[in-house]
């Protein structure tokens, strides 16, 4: 009986670990693989560029230089999306003269390579470091604003830790990604996940760059209390804007774009 019980426990543990491994391998990175061009996305001032990441892997980004005196947004999109739709939602900022640099993740938007937290961090640093050469103009750190939407907030937060910027915008963010998977699979994922954790709160320890949090009160994917926990843990100049009727991906329809522009204008003159 004891052997049978032990065997059951072992089988259950192996099955549980296999499920967690499956989640980390296939569920965290479920991007839209559709390829597109800036022109097809309605962004005539944007162009696609290719460059080498820190490990030599060729990656891509969509970029547009800012007008004189305007900020450039280094933006990182969320899961279940691609670069075209993600850049298009920021199009009105381009029309106001803002610049844009949006990374094409490995394994998304038709790009090859393995998506991972480490690879995204390396690719983001490479984009930051080569940005002036790619743009053909110099954009100093005091005119660079980092922006992350949902999963992309982890990439933006990591870049804020590694590189200087004048501001960090976290849209529909979370403190720890495992909380989403805990509610989705009804398992203690914050105990079980051993990789691809995207713990934004740990990345922002001691990071004093000014921060703007944008969140929908009706967000069921990244719940507002998680973002408020992150906000409370952050130091330095910070602001939290809650949209009572906002959900996870519709904040631009509730005034978030104007709030971003106003906040950036206060920091880039």
Total structural domains within the chain = 1
CA distances for 269 relative to 4, 13, 68, 262, angstroms: 71, 57, 10, 12
CATH of residue 34's domain is: 3.40.50.1820
Q: pLDDT tens for residues 188-227?
A: 999 989 889 999 999 999 999 999 999 999 999 999 999 9
**Strands in the chain per DSSP E:** 47-52, 58-64, 72-76, 99-104, 144-149, 167-171, 211-216, 238-243
CB 216 within 8 A of CB 251: yes
Identify the band that residue 28 occupies on the pLDDT scale cut at 50, 70 and 90: confident
Instruction: Give pTM, 2 decimals.
Output: 0.94
Q: Which of 18-27, 48-57, 159-168, 195-204 has the lowest mean pLDDT?
A: 18-27
Q: pLDDT tens for residues 158-192?
A: 999 999 999 999 999 999 999 999 998 888 999 98
CA angle, residues 255, 247, 171, in degrees to nearest 5: 65
Measure the CA–CA gap between 93 and 260, rounded to whole angstroms: 9
Measure the CA–CA gap between 61 and 124, rounded to whole angstroms: 10
Mean pLDDT, to the nearest integer, of 70-77? 98
* Range(s) of the domain holding residue 31: 2-265
CA angle, residues 235, 79, 131, in degrees to nearest 5: 65
Identify the band that residue 269 occupies on the pLDDT scale cut at 50, 70 and 90: confident
DSSP 65: P
Question: Does residue 15 have a pLDDT over 70?
Answer: no
């Amino acid at each position: 009986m004891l052997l049978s019980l032990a065997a059951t426990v072992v089988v259950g543990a192996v099955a549980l670990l296999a499920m967690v491994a499956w989640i980390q391998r296939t569920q965290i990175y479920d991007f839209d693989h559709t390829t597109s061009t800036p022109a097809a996305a309605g962004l005539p001032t944007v162009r696609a560029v290719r460059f080498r990441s820190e490990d030599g892997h060729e990656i891509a980004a969509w970029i547009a230089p800012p007008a004189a005196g305007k900020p450039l947004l280094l933006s990182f999109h969320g899961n279940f999306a691609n670069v075209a739709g993600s850049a298009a939602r920021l199009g009105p900022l381009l029309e106001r003269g803002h610049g844009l640099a949006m990374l094409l993740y490995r394994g998304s938007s038709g790009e090859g390579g393995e998506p991972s937290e480490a690879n995204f961090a390396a690719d983001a640093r490479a984009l930051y470091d080569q940005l002036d050469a790619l743009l053909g103009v110099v954009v100093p750190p005091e005119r660079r604003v980092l922006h992350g939407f949902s999963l992309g907030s982890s990439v933006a937060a990591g870049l804020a830790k590694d590189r200087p910027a004048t501001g960090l915008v976290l849209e529909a963010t979370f403190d720890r990604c495992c909380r989403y998977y805990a509610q989705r699979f009804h398992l203690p994922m914050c105990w079980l996940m051993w990789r691809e954790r995207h713990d934004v709160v740990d990345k922002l320890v001691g990071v004093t760059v000014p921060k703007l949090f944008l969140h929908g009160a009706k967000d069921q994917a990244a719940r507002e209390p998680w973002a408020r926990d992150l906000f409370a843990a952050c130091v330095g100049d910070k602001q939290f804007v809650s949209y009572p009727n906002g959900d996870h991906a519709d904040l631009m329809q509730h005034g978030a774009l104007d709030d971003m522009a106003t906040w950036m204008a206060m920091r880039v003159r």
